[in-house]
Structures are given as structure tokens and as C-alpha cells.
Structure 1
Amino acid sequence: MTRTTFPKALTTAWSLLRRATVYELGMWRSLFRWILRRPTGPDGTVAFGYAGVVTPLLIVFIVVSTIEIPVLDLILPWKIARIVAAALGVYGVFWMIGLLASLRVHPHLVGEAGIRVRNGISIDLTLPWDAIETVRRRHRSLPSGRTVQLERTETRIVLNIGVSSQTAVDILLREPIVLPVPKGTEEPVHELRVYADDAERFVTCARQFLRTALPERAG
């Protein structure tokens, strides 16, 4: 490694460590908020969950991981190995519960300020009503399981924020804008597609706010 690449590698490693730490703290904070049943959004906003399709899978992982803790304690012959396995197992169970909590306590929000699109603690962006042309319901399957996916044509860029390889709501923008999401694009996008458990109610609510905020532009 040359002298020039070493500081760059160190900066990259520090950036990754910082992001991992912020993510970890955010998950534990979400878990405490979930336990304490804190409000999911400000007054005047309507919350829409998106974790319904992944909750059963996460619960299965949590249950299986919980069962593994006493099983490993029985089969491992060394005391130190049993202690380490138990500690990692308990941490892993609470980590998955924290992940589920982060999805539950950070729903999409629709209110006077616009549509706030979220995905756990990783994505949080607000689209004001004057940036939105219309909102419509349409279920789409995505080609991979990645949360953030881009679709490009010769004239349009679509940003998908999917859950379980699917979206259910299309948000068409009046003008292309840059949406700052992890692993997204620095180019302006023309449309944002997201998933909501109750997509029909999401669209109905969004259109009501859109008509109130900008009656001449509501679609």
C-alpha cells in the first residue's frame, strides 16, 4: 500500500465504522421506542407501515435463534465456548428484534409537509407536496431483493425503495429531483416507488392532502 492510498483506506474504514456505529445505536434506540410505545410520527401525520411482509420471516429467525442458545449450551463441551456462544446468541436475538423494531417505529408518514418515506433507520426523506405530480397504486415486482434499486430508460430514472422485492405505490414527481438515499443516484429521478402494507389507504390519504395543498395539481 502506497503512502497516498493508506490515508484514503483509513478514511474509508473510519467512515464505515462510523456508519455501522450509528446504525447499531439507531436499532437499539428503535427497540426502546418500540417497548415504550413512543409515537411513530408528529401530530397531524398519518403513519403507514411497510413491515408486514417481512415480519413473519424475522419472527421465524428470532424463534430459531432463541432455540439455538440452549441447544449450543448442551452440545458444546468447553465452558468458555458455551459462554461465548450464549453471549453471541443473546446479542443476535436482540439485534433481530431491534431490526424489526426499527421497521415498526419508522413508518412512512403522510401529512401537511408532504410524504415522508422511510425504511428502518437507513432511509428517511421527505417529498413536499409541490414536488409531487400525483400518487397512484400499482403493485410491482423488483428483479432483486435489494432495498434500493434504479430503473433507467432513455428519458426517465425511477428510484425503487422496495420491501421483499416489491413496491406498491408510485409517486410521480413534477420535476426530476435528486433523492439522497444510500446506494441511490446523484442524478435527478422522475419517479419514486415505495411499498406500503395498505397501499390503497396510503394513496387515498396522499391524494387528499395533495388536493388540499395544491388543488390545481392533484391527480
Structure 2
Amino acid sequence: MRPIMRLGRGFVRLEIDIWVSLARAITRRPDTDGGTPIRYAGAESAVLWAFLVVSAIEIPAVHFLIPWAPVRLVALVLGVWGVLWMLGMIAAHHVYPHVLTRECLRVRHLRRTRLDIALTDVRAVRHELRAYDGGKSVQLSGVDGKTAAVVVGSSTNVRVELIEPRAFTTPHGDHTVSAVAFWADDPGTAVSSIRAAIAGDRTGA
């Protein structure tokens, strides 16, 4: 029963996240807290837009194929819900980017995953492309399992090494790691910006 309840709570949370994300996109309120966004939407945008187009095409197609009015109405409602849901998923990738401020790097995936890394805790950052298996948005990797990988499109391309291990709370549990990997649409610019922010923070200190 407990696994079923956890699965049900996960679906409810995802549904809430989708509609909140869509509302933020409509009102143009990305969650950046005044920092510089580091985008990651490009890795999955093409697939999400393809699903959206297919869902939109299905609505009139089903209307003409189903002869029963009550069934057509149910199909219409489900079709519109599906289109709005996909728009919300696309919106979530844009309104919850990674964020770089003068004090912190916030690594995100949609609304639920958020790993805040103080720049004073960063030992090094580099461009490193790596592919992953599995469907979890946060995965442990490395020989000792001490890297938290925030995966987008089954990959990460930026790696942040920490001065010492620290604990993070994720949707998949609490993990103590010594590095965080994530995807950025422009990894070169992301790495340069993070390094510049670290240098500025330490110079200021």
C-alpha cells in the first residue's frame, strides 16, 4: 500500500507543479530570484514540442472518428487537458532554470529539484559530458556514488566539485555527495560564468 501511496502523492505533486509552472509562464514570472539564469530546456524541447503537436492533432481527429457525442465530449476534455499539461511541462523547463548569483549556484530540474551550492563551497567547475541510464531526475554516479547528477535528456555536461562533501535533499531522498553534475544548454558559457562568480566572490571576501 505504501508504494502505491507514494506513487499517488508523486502524481499529485507533479500535477500541481505543471499548473503552477504554466501560471508562472503566462504571468512571465520565472523563478530566478534576481540571479542569472542558466538554461537547460533545449535538451528536451524538441521532444516535448513533438508530443504537444501530436496531442493537438489528436483533438479534431478523435472528434471526427468517434460517432457518439458523450464519448466525443470526454475525448475533447482529455485532449484539451493533455495539450495544457504539455504546455505546462514545457513552461516548467523555462521558468525554473538553474540560477547563478554572486553567492550561490542553484541547480534545478523543473519545480521540485533544487540544489543550492554556495560559491564558497566550490573547489572546481568544468565542462564534462556524461550520459546516464534510468528515468530519475537526480541520480548518484561515480565509482563511490558521490556525485549527484541532475539529469536532463539522459545527460549532464557541467561538473561542480565541492571542497568537502555535503548533504542535499532531493525528490529521491537525501544524499551526501562531493560533486554535482548538471545539464546546461551552453556549458561553455555556464562554466565561464560560474568561475567568474567564484573569483569575484573570493576576491570580495
TM-score (norm 2): 0.90
Task: Provide the rounded CA distance (Å) in 2 between the counterparts of 1:170 and 1:30.
Answer: 27
Structure 2 spans left out of the alignment, 5+ residues? none
Residue in 2 aligned with 1:166? Answer: 155
**Residue type of the alignment partner of 1:205:** S
1:197–1:182 CA distance, 2 compared to 1 (3 A): same
CA RMSD, Structure 1 to Structure 2 (Å): 2.2
SS in 2 for 1:103: helix
TM-score (norm 1): 0.85
* CA positional deviation for 1:134: 1.3
For residue 27 of structure 2, the aligned residue among 29, 33, 36 is 36
Structure 1 spans left out of the alignment, 5+ residues? 1-8
Instruction: Please state which structure has a larger fraction of its residues in strand.
Output: 2
Max Rg structure? 1
1:67–1:187 CA distance, 2 compared to 1 (3 A): closer
**Residue type of the alignment partner of 1:172:** E
Task: Provide the rounded CA distance (Å) in 2 between the counterparts of 1:116 and 1:160.
Answer: 13
* CA positional deviation for 1:213: 1.6
Output aligned runs, 1:37-186, within 5 Å.
37-43=28-34, 45-154=35-144, 157-184=146-173, 186=174
What stretches of structure 1 move > 6 A for 4+ residues in a row? none
Residue in 1 aligned with 2:197? Answer: 209
Task: Provide the rounded CA distance (Å) in 1 between the counterparts of 2:30 and 2:55.
Answer: 29
Residue in 2 aligned with 1:4? Answer: none
Q: Deviations over 1:116-161 (max 9, x none)?
A: 011111201211112211111112222345422212424x511111
Q: Report % sequence identity.
A: 32
Task: Provide the rounded CA distance (Å) in 2 between the counterparts of 1:107 and 1:25.
Answer: 18
